[in-house]
Structure 1
Amino acid sequence: MMPARPAIAALAALLLPVLGGAALAQSDPGFFIPPQGGGNQSRPAQAPARPAQQSQQPQRPPQQAQRPPQPNPAPLPPGQPPPAAVIGIVDVPEIQRNSTAFNGVREEVERRRQRLNDDLQREQTRWRDEQTALAGQRASMNPDQLRQRERELQERITDSQRVFRDRSRAIEAVAQSALAEIEQALAVVIRQVAASRNVNLVLPRPLVIFNDAPFDLTDEISQQVNRVLRTVALPPEGQAPAQPAGQGAAAPAGRPAAPPAQPAAPPAQPRR
């Protein structure tokens, strides 16, 4: 039996290269420990020199792309300076709230949307009643008759869906056409009032932080709009306008969006 102290010394001699390599690997994450061979233990001691040499190499700065030379155009000849600004302030949403034509169109469009929703609710109730009646007659019909009745009900529902979609599109087209006509008249009135005041720059009120009362043209423009356009003629219900009014006309600054559409809810599908 080998004495305890020489055995411990021999074991320490075997484990020392391994423990030394592991300690170096923990201190330097980029260090690679080669597999231990039979008797050659000199390689792990020489391996740490590579990361040290690599860390001492200076890093080269990334090369920047060369920009093309900036053009240097010749100066332009002196032109006519712009005139002195004479500013007017306009609140377009307030003008539309005070417009009798705008309020009349909005009320009529809301009435047509409400009638469309009421008709849709009645039609959906009728479809549910027919579905319930068909479900109660299943036992007295053969499969062919049941499929035929379900197919007929589905066709009626599909046709009604198309009719309601067409009515909804017609209402929205009427609203957009009337709003375009009002905007066209408003743009003409703004130019007329600005010319009468020698104003050459009109700004919407929401963009102005502070202004004196004489700069504001809103009340005068509102009165003039109601004089030149009191009402807008709308096509009959269920009929879309033949040609949108005001197409291609420039909309005034600060124009609000058209009233949001309220599409009809999709009808219920027959239950099988």
Structure 2
Amino acid sequence: MSRFTLSCALTAVSVLTLSSFTPSYAEGNNGGWFVPKTQQAPSSPPPSHHHSARPAVPPPVEDEGQEDASSEAQDASSQTPPILPLPPVPTVQAVGKEAAPPPAIIGMISVQEVMQLSTAAQEMQQVLGARRDRLARAVQKEEAAWRGEQQKLQVQARTLTSDQLQIRVRHLQERRANDQRVFGNQARIIQEAYQVAFHQIERVLEQRNGIIARVATAHGMNLVLHAEQAVLHVDGQDITEEVANRLNQVLPHVFIPDDGVDPETLAKSGRMPTTADEERMMRQEVAPQSNNGAGKSQGAESVLRQHH
């Protein structure tokens, strides 16, 4: 077999990687992913002094008067705005006087700190973090085994026929493609399990009758801002700790799909509501409140604006 055929076959195997699943591990551990820095080309040697240098040609000298005139013309054209058409616009009529909104009673909350104090969030990070670590170790183990097979093929390549080498190369390629499919699916399952768990905490905190709204109403607050937006506030306005305590009472744990269970398959089983039902459920919750509050002023109702 020619060296060219062997080189092309092994190069075709080498270009496939598992970097789509474990970029952080590839970057952190540099296991087989080291890329040397590009060497700089050596600087050209200094010119020899044995020959006399040619005299430099001086640049042409422009007329100072012409240069000043051209610069003044450019400045004048850039400072003078163009004259454009001014079509008429309708006149805005006066708006009748309406009821003023209630005075703002402001509260502050740090959602990030609430998540740090939440036992449910800690459980979520612990359980799903362990699954991510196991997946990363499995990927690294398979990566090492695959590279071992690749190196073994490089050693045996000179003793193989062209057909035998192509079969071995194809097997390595199929193994890598299968690894990408299997590990990619496992990574998706873990990510979607995290979304399922986190969304439970998010809903309990931020829905219309959630913990933040309940605590704010108890303190007479009608405007709750994220603490990161405030430069200064007084004691009694920060409800972070109280919200975290009530969150731990209401939701000490979250539902996390079992290890290896596909959340999308679980959603299709009909065992529980899905995200597709969430908007419909929210409309059903808001409709009775709108009917009960017909004819009454809605100014005192607090509004929580989510911060993303």
Pick the TM interval, shorter chain. 0.5 to 0.7
- Deviations along 1:173-192, whole A, 9 cap, x unmatched? 22222222111111110011
Quick check: 67-76 or 140-149, which moved more?
67-76
- Deviations along 1:147-174, whole A, 9 cap, x unmatched? 1111112101110111111111221222
Cα contact 2:213–2:304 (8 A) shared by 1: no
Residue 218 (structure 1) aligned with residue 237 (structure 2)? no
Inter-partner Cα distance in structure 2 for 1:97 and 1:115: 24
Inter-partner Cα distance in structure 2 for 1:128 and 1:211: 58
Residue 190 (structure 1) aligned with residue 212 (structure 2)? yes
Residue 161 (structure 1) aligned with residue 180 (structure 2)? yes
Cα contact 1:89–1:202 (8 A) shared by 2: yes
| Secondary structure of the corresponding residue to residue 263 of structure 2 | coil
Cα contact 1:85–1:201 (8 A) shared by 2: yes
Pick closer, same or farther for the CA change 1:155–1:64 going to 2, 3 Å.
Answer: same
- Deviations along 1:49-87, whole A, 9 cap, x unmatched? xxxxxx9xxx9x775002223432211222121112222
Inter-partner Cα distance in structure 1 for 2:304 and 2:186: 27
TM-score by length of 1: 0.66
Cα contact 1:100–1:230 (8 A) shared by 2: yes
Inter-partner Cα distance in structure 1 for 2:133 and 2:304: 29
Inter-partner Cα distance in structure 1 for 2:99 and 2:119: 43
Which of the residues 171, 177, 184 maps onto 1:152? Answer: 171
Pick closer, same or farther for the CA change 1:62–1:180 going to 2, 3 Å.
Answer: closer
Over the aligned positions, Cα root-mean-square deviation in angstroms equals 2.8
Residue 202 (structure 1) aligned with residue 216 (structure 2)? no
| Secondary structure of the corresponding residue to residue 88 of structure 1 | strand
Which of the residues 85, 99, 121 maps onto 2:118? Answer: 99
Q: Which has the larger radius of gyration?
A: 1
Residue 109 (structure 1) aligned with residue 109 (structure 2)? no
Inter-partner Cα distance in structure 2 for 1:241 and 1:143: 46
Pick closer, same or farther for the CA change 1:27–1:147 going to 2, 3 Å.
Answer: closer
- Identify unmatched segments of 5+ residues in structure 1: 1-24, 31-54, 256-272
**Who is 2:96 aligned against?**
77
**Who is 1:230 aligned against?**
252
| Counterpart AA for 1:231 | H
Inter-partner Cα distance in structure 2 for 1:71 and 1:92: 46
Count of equivalent residues: 203
Cα contact 2:224–2:304 (8 A) shared by 1: no
TM-score by length of 2: 0.59
| Secondary structure of the corresponding residue to residue 224 of structure 2 | strand
| Counterpart AA for 1:140 | T
Inter-partner Cα distance in structure 1 for 2:155 and 2:218: 76
- Identify unmatched segments of 5+ residues in structure 2: 1-61, 68-72, 268-273, 283-302
